[in-house]
Amino acid sequence: MTQTQLPKEPYNIIITGVGGQGNVMASRILSNMLVHQGYSITIGETFGASQRGGSVMSHIRVSADSTWSPQIPKGKADIVVTLEPIEAIRVLMNYGNPEVKVLTNTRPIYPVGVISGELKYPSKEEIQDAIRDLSSIAWFIDATDEAVKLGNPILGNIIMIGALAGTGLLPIDRQAFQEVIRENLPAGTLDTNMKAFDLGMAKVRQ
Amino acid sequence: MSKLTDQNEGKQYLLMGNEAIARGALEAGISVASGYPGTPSSEIIESLAKAAEERNLYVEWSTNEKVALEVAAAASFAQLRSLCVMKQNGVNVASDFLLHLAGSGTRGGMVLVTCDDPGALSSVNEGESRHFAKMVEIPLLEPGDFQEAKDMTQWAFELSETIRSLVVVRSVTRMSHASGNVHFGKLPGTEKQAVFKYDGFILDPMEGLVISAPVSFKHKLQQDKLIKTREIFEESPFNKYFGPEKPELLLITSSACNLYSREAVHILGLQNRVGVLKMGTTWPLPPGLIKKYLSLNDKILFVEEVLPFLEENVKILAAEMAGEIGVKTFHGKNDGSIPMVGEMNPDFVISALAKLTEIDYVPMSKEYEEKAALYNIAKVPAREQTFCPGCPHRASFWSIHNALLLDNRKGFVCGDIGCYTMAIGSTGFRTLKTLHSMGSGTGVASGFGKLGQFGLDQPVLAVCGDSTFFHAAMPALVNAVHHKSNITLVILDNSGTAMTGFQPHPGLTVNAMGETMPEVDIAKICQAIGAKVEIRDPFNLKETQETLNQLMADKEGAKVLILRQKCALSPERKAKKYFEMKVDEARCLGENCGCNRLCTRILSCPGLFWDKDKKTAKIDEVICAGCGVCSYICPVEAIKREEVA
């Protein structure tokens, strides 16, 4: 329960992706890790109808001791974690700034407009160039592909949390993750989740 | 043990607003909780259902909101504390009983939680429930943060018992579905005794009859309760003022807008110029408190969702007090300072405040904004909502759409609320042509079906879900059968209230607390009502479409087709495939096939995409749910299915 100094008050994180990718779970796990460290957290989430294949977003406000708006004001994101690559660019349009740091899972989920052929999905290079241009630091992680190797694509969200911990941008570590998983998820899932977390951490430190 | 039943007083947890409301109800010692699922309210009843055994509660998902309110009221009449929960439009459904309950009064503390959805993030309306409190004359509370969501819910029961009236606690999506740190209070004992007394003096509130008559007597009593409530609200700690003694501008707000407003003041550095009056007790407004703060200055800004409720009610008080406090200038929704529709956020408040205090504020550099916008316009495809991979609705609407085309008489489908609402869009082949409230597709169809007399010769279809059937479609089907309305009702039975997270309904063998219950059979009900009933598996496209065409050709009264297949996200189907799917690349003719990419272009399942390099369709193994439907669609049988053992 010891706080270290936050780089900024409040510190603003957005986790984004597509309904069904475990966005909400990722935001809860990360937030609970920060509560363990003694911070006050406010999360704002979009789910419900938006869950059905649409873009989803969680706004996490990390504070020493205050409750903040569950919606981050325009241009005020400090970190964006994206479970689907183009969703990062969408989020940066409203919440980005030249200092923002972005962690991207590289696996695309095609919108139906792309599947039906009406719309075009950008190339990997185009996506990476755009994210790099709109951020101060960008990491690209093949989280879903690694998760498939671990046996379940949903673990992509945990790999991304591991990667975020690996960046050292937040006062979160392996032990905090372990405690939160123990408290919140079924006992049998601990090992797999730890494996996914470690993998994400290693990926970012490579 | 769930965290919500933690006995540790003072312990701090990160709670969703809905969980904080549930904890508040537990700390108040409720015995009964009821509701009907609806985003953003559903987690309250779900959390309480999980705590039911440990906290000695009875928790149910009722058939609809009116029944839920009646069930909760019974507990109050038997001197227990009870909670009833619904989303904004649910209050409309419950409103007839609500009016009479306000008249009869309550005994054990009773609280109605309504969760409104400003901006309609998960709704097809942005209805306001606060006006109901004013309309039926009962107290209204609005929590302004997560701690208050708990504390206020708990206190609402005390208020209810002080005045013997139902009390409304109104939340919004960004309170219910947002989370924050909450400190726990004490949990009471779990011993309770229900008794319903009715043989005292007829007008005795605790031992007489529970009735809303004699009306003028009871109505007067109700208004006396509101006068008492107003006095209590004058001293309420839920109304808070943040700011200087003599602000240049007074901002009056409530609910999640409190957090947006305070952030806006912070960002603009207006702490010494703008005062924020956060109202927690929003009906009846305490006139003394309002007078005190209106006297601080002459310029007022209201920030609230959805309709200008605070704004208009404060203005009435200000008009009455004008002689003493002088004439004020009001800004808010009515003068366009704040948008009249949609959800609020900190940026709307920043913009209103910046204008009124003459501050220049640029949230994002022009260069960055233009660059980011350009990438989005040029590179980022829109992401339309879609039925999930493996969703039975995609298959059902494929068949309905094709049956209507084959029938070729300009037939149409009337819809209502559920995931299948999305069939107004391309994911359901734009099949729905009307969309209103729960069960209204069937009622509207019943009306269309009687327009033959005036020359309407188009086939009329309706769709409703299984939970919706019980909620509100049953009376409409009775109406259609009794009046020989020529309609085909398609019941999309996916075995649960899927959109809101698989809450059980009367058609299932389980209740909210996980106990085994007798199922109420939808097919038998429809037969008993007198409709012709067919049951099909929507994944069998051929049979489904043939049956639909037969039913549409039958001109004798109301017909029902039940399309039964579990939701792809249901615990039974999630991560379990019926089939392993594969595209035989040698067989797929790609762009040379006359189908013009029927599978990806029209069916548009997220699990099947067009491989631009190979120029064939391809299964996305991470996403495909293995329903097998696409294999029926390929004209050259290139999409292969292999049964999963």
Report CA dihedral (A129, A130, A136, A139) to the nearest 10 degrees.
Answer: -60
pLDDT, residue A1, reads: 45
Quick check: B545 contacting A, CB < 8 Å? no
**Res. A10: pLDDT tops 50:** yes
Contacts of A18 in chain B (CB under 8 A): 383
According to DSSP H, which parts of B449-490 are helical?
466-468, 474-482
CB of A64 closer than 8 Å to CB of A85: no
Closest CA to B481 of B400, B563, B561, B556: B556
Instruction: Kindly state whether B390 is in contact with chain A, defined as any CB-CB distance less than 8 angstroms.
Output: no
Burial of B296 (0-12, 13-18, 19+ CB in 10 A): buried
- Nearest-Cα residue of chain B relative to residue A156: B622
**Which amino acid, residue B524?**
K
Whether B419 contacts chain A with CB within 8 A: yes
Q: How far is A192 from chain B (nearest CA, A)?
A: 17
Token pair of B548, please? 């639909």
Check whether residue B261 and residue B209 sit in a common domain: no
B345/A73 touch (CB, cutoff 8 Å), yes or no: yes
Residue listed under structure tokens 């209590």: B232
Cα nearest neighbour of B257 on chain A: A69
For residue A40, being part of any structural domain is answered with yes
> Looking at beta carbons, which residues of chain A come within 8 Å of B119?
none
| C-beta atoms of A113 and B419 within 8 A | no
Q: Is the peptide bond before B504 cis (omega within 30 degrees of 0)?
A: no
User: What residue numbers bound the domain in which B631 lies?
Assistant: 579-643
Residue B571 belongs to some domain of the structure: no
* B597:A117 CB<8 A: yes
CA A123-A199-A4 angle, to 5 degrees, is: 105
Task: Give the domain-ending residue among B518, B536, B564.
Answer: B564
Give domain status of residue A99, yes or no. Answer: yes
Residue B499 contacts A where some CB pair is shorter than 8 Å: yes
Instruction: State the pLDDT at residue B533.
Output: 98
Give the dihedral sign, CA A75/A77/A78/A82.
Answer: negative
Domain-located, residue A130: yes
The answer on B257 and B207 residing in a single domain is no
Domain count, chain B: 4
- Beta-sheet strands, E only, within B145-210: 167-172, 179-183
Token digits of residue A104: 């991207």
**Whether residue B294 is found in the same domain as residue B347:** yes
Q: What digits encode the pLDDT tens for the residues A94-119?
A: 999 999 999 999 999 999 889 888 89
Region B337-358 average pLDDT? 97
At B235, list the tokens.
């001293």
d(CA B203, CA B625): 61
- Domain shared by B228 and B244, yes or no: no
CB distance A67–B259 less than 8 Å? Answer: yes
Mutate to test the interface with B, among A1, A71, A83, A121 (most CBs of B within 10 A): A71
Question: Is B377 in CB contact (< 8 Å) with chain A?
Answer: no
Sheet containing B240-242: order of strands: B240-242, B274-278, B249-253, B299-303, B329-331
Helix, strand, or coil (residue B592): helix
The Cα–Cα gap between B423 and B413 comes to 10
Beta bridge partners of B641: B581
Helices (H), chain A: 23-36, 85-95, 112-115, 124-133, 143-150, 156-167, 174-184, 190-205
Model confidence at B385, pLDDT cuts 50, 70, 90, reads: confident
Give the pLDDT band of residue B573 (cuts 50, 70, 90). confident
Is residue B379 less than 8 Å (CB to CB) from chain A?
Answer: yes
In a domain, A1, yes or no: no
Q: Provide the percentage of residues in chain B whose pLDDT is more than 90.
A: 92
Asked whether the predicted pLDDT for residue A49 surpasses 80, the reply is: no
What pLDDT is attached to residue B12? 93
Closest approach of B615 to chain A, Cα-based (Å): 12
Residues B12 and B182: beta-carbon distance below 8 Å: yes
State the nearest Cα–Cα gap between B362 and chain A, in angstroms. 10
Task: State whether B146 and A74 contact (CB < 8 Å).
Answer: no
Nearest chain A CA: its distance from B379 CA (Å): 6
Q: Is residue A6 part of a domain?
A: no
Chain B from 23 to 52: CB within 8 A of any A CB? 39-40
Q: Is the dihedral of CA B436, B441, B442, B444 positive or negative?
A: positive
Residues B283 and B221 in one domain: no
In the numeric block, the tokens 């609910």 are attached to B255
Given an 8 Å threshold on Cβ–Cβ distance, is B381 in contact with A32?
A: no
Distance from CA of B381 to the nearest CA of A (A): 6
- Average confidence (pLDDT) over B67-72: 98
CATH number at residue B635: 3.30.70.20
Q: How confident is the model at residue A50 (pLDDT cuts 50, 70, 90)?
A: low
The DSSP H or E segment spanning B268 is helix B256-268
Mean pLDDT of B636-640: 95
Boundaries of domain holding A98: 11-205
Contact A192, A149 (CB under 8 A): no
Q: Are B441 and B416 in contact (CB under 8 A)?
A: yes
Asked if residue A2 belongs to a domain, the reply is no
Structure tokens at B149: 């969501």
Q: Nearest CA of chain A to the CA of B606: how many Å? A: 6
Contact call for residues B198 and B209 (beta carbons, < 8 A): yes
C-beta atoms of B346 and A69 within 8 A: yes
- Does B374 contact chain A (CB < 8 Å)? no
Strands B608-611 and B616-619: antiparallel
Cβ B500–A43 below 8 Å, yes or no?
no
Torsion angle (degrees, nearest 10) of CA A168, A174, A179, A182: 130
Cis peptide before B380 (omega within 30 of 0): no
- The one-letter amino acid code at B114 reads T
* B341 plus B402 within the same structural domain: no
Angle between helix B42-55 and B17-27 (nearest 10): 40
Predicted pLDDT of residue B468: 97
Torsion of CA B461, B467, B472, B473, to 10 degrees: 30
Size of interface A-B (CB pairs under 8 A): 196
Residue B219 lies in a domain: yes
Task: Tell me what pLDDT residue A186 has.
Answer: 87
| Nearest Cα to Cα of residue B41 among B17, B70, B15 | B17
A27 touches A40 (CB < 8 A): no
Please give the Cα distance from B423 to B490 (Å, whole number). 13
3-state secondary structure of A202: helix
Report if residue A30 sits inside a domain: yes
CB proximity list for B52: less than 8 A, separation 6 or greater: B58, B59, B512, B513
Q: Report B:142-181 residues touching A (Cβ under 8 A).
A: 145-147, 174-175, 177-181
Chain A: residue whose CA lies nearest to B601: A116
Closest CA to A39 of A24, A23, A60: A60
Which chain B residues are within 8 Å of A109, Cβ to Cβ?
A: 606, 623
Q: What is the mean pLDDT of residues A3-9?
A: 79
Phi then psi dihedrals of residue B299, to 5 deg? -115, 120
Contact state of A117 with B601 under an 8 Å Cβ cutoff: yes
User: Do the strands B487-493 and B559-564 form a parallel or antiparallel pair, or are they unpaired?
Assistant: parallel
Q: A83: which chain B residues are within 8 Å (Cβ-Cβ)? A: none
Q: Find all residues with CB under 8 Å of A145, minimum gap 6, and list them.
A: A106, A107
Q: What is the pLDDT of residue B418?
A: 92
CATH label of the domain that carries residue A150? 3.40.920.10
Residue of B13, B14, B420 to mutate, testing the A interface (most A Cβ within 10 Å of its Cβ): B14
CB contact under 8 A, A115 and B610: yes
Among residues B13, B95, B101, B7, the alpha carbon closest in space to that of B51 is found at B7
Report how far residue B135's alpha carbon sits from residue B116's, in angstroms, rounded to the nearest whole number: 17
Same domain, B198 and B123: yes
Chain B residue closest in CA terms to A48: B122
Picking from B124, B375, B420, B567 by the largest number of A CB atoms within 10 A of its own CB, the best residue to mutate is B375
| Cβ contact, residue pair B376, A90, below 8 Å | yes
Tell me: pLDDT of B184 over 70: yes
Interface test with B, best of A112, A114, A131, A192 (most B CBs within 10 A): A112
- Report the alpha-carbon distance of residue B216 to residue B222 in Å, rounded: 10
* CA–CA gap between residue A53 and residue A49 (Å, rounded): 9
Domain CATH code at residue B175: 3.40.50.970
Q: Is B271 on the interface with A (CB under 8 A)?
A: no
* CATH code where residue B256 lies: 3.40.50.920
- Is residue B292 located within the same domain as residue B223? no
pLDDT at B62 over 60: yes
For residue A25, give how far its alpha carbon lies from the nearest alpha carbon of chain B (Å).
13
Are residues B179 and A42, on separate chains, in Cβ contact within 8 Å?
A: yes
With both helix axes pointing from N to C terminus, report the angle between A143-150 and A190-205 in degrees, rounded to the nearest 10: 140
* pLDDT over 90 (residue B612): no
CB contact under 8 A, A44 and B365: no
Helix/strand/coil for B174: helix
Q: Is the CB of A134 less than 8 angstroms away from the CB of B427?
A: no
Q: How far is B155 from chain A (nearest CA, A)?
A: 21
Measure the CA–CA gap between B383 and A127, rounded to whole angstroms: 16
Residue B251: helix, strand or coil by DSSP?
strand
To the nearest whole percent, how much of chain B has pLDDT over 70? 100
Mean pLDDT for chain B overall: 96
Residues 42-101 of B with CB under 8 A from A: none
Are residues B506 and B584 both part of a single domain? no
- Contact: A41, B622; criterion CB under 8 Å: no
In a domain, B167, yes or no: yes
Domain count within chain A: 1
Q: Which two tokens stand for residue B559?
A: 């017909």
Average pLDDT, integer, range B159-166: 98
In one-letter notation, the amino acid at residue B488 is: T
Residues B187-236: tens digit of each pLDDT:
999 999 999 999 999 999 999 999 999 999 999 999 999 999 999 999 99
Q: What are phi and psi of B505, to 5 degrees?
A: -140, 175
